[in-house]
Chains A and B, each alone.
Chain A
Amino acid sequence: MSTVNHTQEPLLRIAKRDGISRPKAYAIRVIAVVLALVVSGIFIFAVTKLNPIQVYEGIYKGAFGTSKRSWVTIRDTMMLLCIGVGLAPAFKMKFWNIGAEGQVLIGGVVTAGFMRAFGGSIPTPVLLVIMAAVSLLGGCLWGVIPAAFKAKWGTNETLFTLMMNYVAIQITSYCVAMWENPIGSNTVGVINQQTKAGWFPEVFGQTYGLNVILVLALTVGMYIYLKYSKQGYEITVVGDSENTARYAGISVKKVTIRTMAISGAICGLAGFIAVAGASHTISTSTAGGRGFTAIIVAWLAQFNTFVMILISLLLVFLQKGAIQIATQFNLNDYASNIITGIILFFILGSEFFINYRVILRGKKEGEAK
């Protein structure tokens, strides 16, 4: 039967590492970032003949060039982080909640509705509390519906949460049409621009101070919830094995619904922050794809909410930088997107090298030829 030619042993073999020390893992990540900068530097030079260092400077300036830019970067980081924190318990439970976009929108719509309706009649601090509460409820409802269907009838949560996004988008379009201001603009415009009723107040003289405080509190709270609370433990068990959960007397249905209520509620609150704390308006692009980007944030951080801060910051930083270099150097959007892509590719790729090692042919088994 041996009619086949002598085959080579594979050139590269991949073996799982038995564990890696923390400094080594971070060294790999640092190398990845440096490599990413070098490769995108080569790309920049080859395609645009620009000095890569200047371009990198441009990226930095775009994100942190002025105090205002820094605050916008921080504001957007907090937004992304908040959604990521909301998604963390769902994904830790292996519930594929890709409906954050819709949950954020619903939170934003009810916030905007209350802001318009009660902007003058209820004092702002009270109104803020009410808006926070209704946005929590709205997001919660958007999270619980697919969870309840899954628990009761075993529906697929990925499709369900995705479709809930479209429902939320349609509701938002309807409200935007209803609240149009000025008529014909097809936007809601800035709500309560004169009175600033229902807007986040300045904290420590910073417009976005309250955003930071709220989101960081959620970040710390979620970390503690997932790591030290009984409910957090149940989420871990259900995410690991539903059979083990049943074995331990954990009601998988109850945990699924409860966790999605929390996840949806926090995403809804993100909508509240987006409307009351940042844009002061509502449109179908209020969530702006962050509901999906936040999935990357949650997974990359392995549901560690503190790591999420760094990842959200990195993503927003790259995005802001890309916009800046696009205008500054007259590059089109694609060029800056490629740079962002290269950097993300290397960072994600480094996780592979942290978990696996690659063995070259001939190494260690020279005689096996």
Chain B
Amino acid sequence: METVAAVQLRNITKRFGKVVANDSVSLDINRGEVLSLLGENGSGKTTLMNMLAGIYFPDEGEILVNGKPVTIASPKDAFNYGIGMIHQHFKLVDVFTAAENIVLGLEDEGKLDLKAAAAKITAICEKYGFQVDPNKKIYDMSVSEKQTVEIVKVLYRGADILILDEPTAVLTPQETDRLFGVMRNMKADGKAMVIITHKLHEVMDVSDRVAVLRKGKYVGDVATKDTSPKALTDMMVGHAVTLNINRPDPKDPTPRLEVKDLTVYDAMGVKRLDNVTFTAMGGEILGIAGIAGSGQKELLESVAGLQPLSPGASIRYRPIGHPEDKDGVELVGKTPLQIKQAGVSLAFVPEDRLGMGLVGSLGMTGNMLLRSYRKGHGVFTDRKAPKQLAEEVLTELDVVTPGVNFPVRRLSGGNVQKVLVGREIAQEPSVLMTAYAVRGLDINTSYTIYNLLTEQKLKGVAVVYVGEDLDVLLELCDRILVLCGGQVSGIVDARTTTKEEVGLLMTRFKKEGEPA
């Protein structure tokens, strides 16, 4: 039986400067079906869907909705064709209620009737099984509720083609299940849905068909029931990848950082870390697992001297080769500069690379200078050493840049990360902290990073690796500390634990730990 697909993409190409984000991609989206769009970071999934949603305009190719060629020049056009996209970053007005957000921007005739809107919202919710209070303010909502508002918003506008961009990235497993339940209801109602994700088990769980993109090119599509995670991985990366990360045993690990009773409140007064206590050993990689926003950022920033701590916390640092130095150095209460002056060689790859780790307007040389510009007594900076370091990082990590003075802001995410990691490792640290060090990197570069971290570990460095991919955490780290709602829910041996155990720990304290 031959039905016309809801959306047909024909030979879509999109370029950003020299980068080809989508290279002649053709794809069908059918009604009553959940299509998974699968691909590694940077494979062009979001770009492709943004063209459907009217955010980008394709350089080449055509889009057909219900078999008719259309031009989608703006999000408004997209809505007129019934296409609605739920973005990774929610676009909601915090001080408005759910209902106000949902009707925002609609150009209805006559008076704004919030009661009628609320009734319509409730009807939509009942139909598909959402739980939304139309009168609740956005700032009172959890991430999952906000997401629900975003979905209801596009349904309210009559969208029957829904695109969800990594909807599960911010959700707990239970919330994910609930979302998938709703998606199945919508499917039964004949809606066409696209879910962008790179989590294979979710693909297997929720979708009917999987389309795979690799480096901007369309690899193909398969029915979910005819495939397996292994086969999908092969399609995604082009060749079979076994996560064979080299993990030598730690050589006589010694305590390096002793963290005790770390409690952090953010500027809004929300508790972000709750009595965190652990020891990072020199010579091992300590993984930190947890759902996004469980306190990982605050933990690393506390050690780096960038977070105001509640009284009673202690972070003791014991330098390499000074086990006799019984007390070590207390880091709490010191500024980043004082920490450095106390002889602590701390390398830190923060999550927000351009916002915190790098100076976007400067080139590689200027960024290498960030750690070393104080060297020397003169008034002027020494640029020779940083330039040399920049060139070393460029060749060793294969940074793609027009030159060492080209602003790093204009490099791609992966290259930005290489510049940052390269600089931090070059400091010859005794503690190396990384937050999502391989986010946005391709497989090969990721392995380069894994090897660099392991190299540091063998040198006796205490490596702290905050990660999101459990497979990597299980194969790269020696121990894994699991954070849940700002609390340490467990520290496990990475060699013996299982994914299920870590997954369980990640959600264990959810009830008590959830910020009010």
Q: Chain B nearest CB: distance from A91 CB in Å?
A: 13
Contact A368 B158 (CB under 8 A): no
B216 at interface, CB cutoff 8 A: no
> Which of A1, A4, A230, A237 is the one whose CB lies under 8 Å from B380?
A230
> Which of A8, A244, A249, A365 is the one whose CB lies under 8 Å from B356?
A244
Q: Complex Cα distance A163/B370, Å?
A: 36
> Which of B73, B80, B304 is the one whose CB lies under 8 Å from A1?
B80
Most buried by B among A1, A229, A237: A1
Provide the residues of chain A in CB contact with B61, threshold 8 Å: 367-368
> Which of A9, A233, A249 is the one whose CB lies under 8 Å from B73?
A9
A7-27: which have CB < 8 Å to B?
7-10, 13, 16, 18-19
Q: Complex Cα distance A19/B17, Å?
A: 9
Provide the residues of chain B in CB contact with A68, threshold 8 Å: none
A228 at interface, CB cutoff 8 A: yes
Q: Complex Cα distance A8/B360, Å?
A: 37
Contact A1 B160 (CB under 8 A): yes
Q: Complex Cα distance A118/B257, Å?
A: 65
> Which of A236, A243, A368 is the one whose CB lies under 8 Å from B361?
A236
Encode contact with A along B101-121: 1 for CB under 8 Å, 0 otherwise. Answer: 000000000000000000000
Q: Complex Cα distance A19/B363, Å?
A: 14
Contact B362 A16 (CB under 8 A): no
Q: Chain A nearest CB: distance from B486 CB in Å?
A: 21
- Which residue of A is nearest B66, CB measured? A2
Encode contact with A along B359-382: 1 for CB under 8 Å, 0 otherwise. Answer: 111100010011101100001110
> Which of B77, B82, B370, B380 is the one whose CB lies under 8 Å from A7?
B77
Interface of B is mostly: loop
A213-258: which have CB < 8 Å to B?
228-231, 233-234, 236-237, 239-241, 243-244, 246-251
CB contact under 8 A between A244 and B81, given known A6-B71, A229-B379, A236-B366: no
Provide the residues of chain A in CB contact with B70, threshold 8 Å: 2, 6-7
A152 at interface, CB cutoff 8 A: no
Q: Chain B nearest CB: distance from A310 CB in Å?
A: 22
Q: Chain B nearest CB: distance from A114 CB in Å?
A: 31
Q: Complex Cα distance A250/B335, Å?
A: 9
Contact B356 A241 (CB under 8 A): yes
Contact B65 A2 (CB under 8 A): yes
Contact B371 A248 (CB under 8 A): yes
Provide the residues of chain B in CB contact with A240, threshold 8 Å: 359-362
B322 at interface, CB cutoff 8 A: no
Provide the residues of chain B in CB contact with A8, threshold 8 Å: 71, 73
- Which residue of A is nearest B376, CB measured? A230
B134 at interface, CB cutoff 8 A: no
> Which of A2, A9, A365 is the one whose CB lies under 8 Å from B81?
A2
Contact A229 B380 (CB under 8 A): yes
Interface-lining segment among B203-211, B287-295, B347-355, B468-476:
B347-355
CB contact under 8 A between A230 and B381, given known A13-B57, A19-B402, A365-B59: yes
Contact A7 B362 (CB under 8 A): no
- Which residue of A is nearest B362, CB measured? A236
Contact B58 A365 (CB under 8 A): yes
Contact A367 B81 (CB under 8 A): no
Provide the residues of chain A in CB contact with B370, threshold 8 Å: 237, 244, 248
Provide the residues of chain B in CB contact with A9, threshold 8 Å: 57, 71, 73
Most buried by A among B350, B360, B374, B383: B374
- Which residue of B is nearest A232, CB measured? B381
Contact A247 B357 (CB under 8 A): yes
Provide the residues of chain B in CB contact with A7, threshold 8 Å: 70-71, 73, 77
Contact A247 B82 (CB under 8 A): no
A49 at interface, CB cutoff 8 A: no
Q: Chain A nearest CB: distance from B19 CB in Å?
A: 9
Q: Complex Cα distance A274/B189, Å?
A: 77
Most buried by A among B77, B339, B369: B369
> Which of A243, A244, A249 is the one whose CB lies under 8 Å from B340?
A249
Encode contact with A along B318-355: 1 for CB under 8 Å, 0 otherwise. Answer: 00000000000000000111011000000010101011
Contact B80 A237 (CB under 8 A): no
> Which of A2, A244, A250 is the one whose CB lies under 8 Å from B355?
A244
Q: Complex Cα distance A6/B68, Å?
A: 10
B51-86: which have CB < 8 Å to A?
57-62, 65-66, 68-71, 73, 77, 80-82
Provide the residues of chain A in CB contact with B371, threshold 8 Å: 248
- Which residue of B is nearest A246, CB measured? B306
Contact A244 B359 (CB under 8 A): yes
> Which of A2, A231, A247, A369 is the one whose CB lies under 8 Å from B68?
A2
Q: Complex Cα distance A3/B79, Å?
A: 11
B89 at interface, CB cutoff 8 A: no
Contact B374 A230 (CB under 8 A): yes
Contact B352 A368 (CB under 8 A): no
- Which residue of A is nearest B15, CB measured? A15
Q: Chain B nearest CB: distance from A11 CB in Å?
A: 10
Provide the residues of chain A in CB contact with B336, threshold 8 Å: 246-249
B259 at interface, CB cutoff 8 A: no
Q: Complex Cα distance A241/B357, Å?
A: 9
Provide the residues of chain B in CB contact with A243, threshold 8 Å: 352, 355-356
B239 at interface, CB cutoff 8 A: no
Q: Complex Cα distance A81/B373, Å?
A: 30
CB contact under 8 A between A236 and B359, given known A230-B380, A364-B59: yes
Q: Complex Cα distance A249/B340, Å?
A: 8
Q: Chain A nearest CB: distance from B159 CB in Å?
A: 8
- Which residue of B is nearest A243, CB measured? B356
Q: Chain A nearest CB: distance from B40 CB in Å?
A: 24
B358 at interface, CB cutoff 8 A: yes
Provide the residues of chain A in CB contact with B360, threshold 8 Å: 240-241
Q: Complex Cα distance A22/B363, Å?
A: 18
Q: Chain A nearest CB: distance from B339 CB in Å?
A: 8
Q: Chain A nearest CB: distance from B11 CB in Å?
A: 9
- Which residue of B is nearest A240, CB measured? B359
Contact B62 A368 (CB under 8 A): yes
Contact A10 B62 (CB under 8 A): no
Q: Chain B nearest CB: distance from A151 CB in Å?
A: 15
Q: Complex Cα distance A364/B62, Å?
A: 13
Most buried by A among B158, B359, B362, B402: B359
Provide the residues of chain B in CB contact with A251, threshold 8 Å: 335, 337
- 5 closest Cβ contacts across the A-B interface? A249-B337, A1-B82, A249-B336, A18-B17, A4-B80
Q: Which residues of A contact B (CB under 8 A)?
A: 1-4, 6-10, 13, 16, 18-19, 228-231, 233-234, 236-237, 239-241, 243-244, 246-251, 364-365, 367-369
Q: Which residues of B contact A (CB under 8 A)?
A: 17-18, 57-62, 65-66, 68-71, 73, 77, 80-82, 158, 160, 304, 306, 335-337, 339-340, 348, 350, 352, 354-362, 366, 369-371, 373-374, 379-381, 383, 402
9 extra A-B contacts, CB within 8 A, seeds A7-B71, A18-B17, A233-B369: A1-B80, A1-B81, A4-B80, A4-B81, A16-B17, A228-B383, A237-B359, A247-B350, A367-B60
Q: List 5 A-B contacts (CB under 8 A).
A: A228-B380, A236-B359, A241-B356, A243-B355, A251-B337
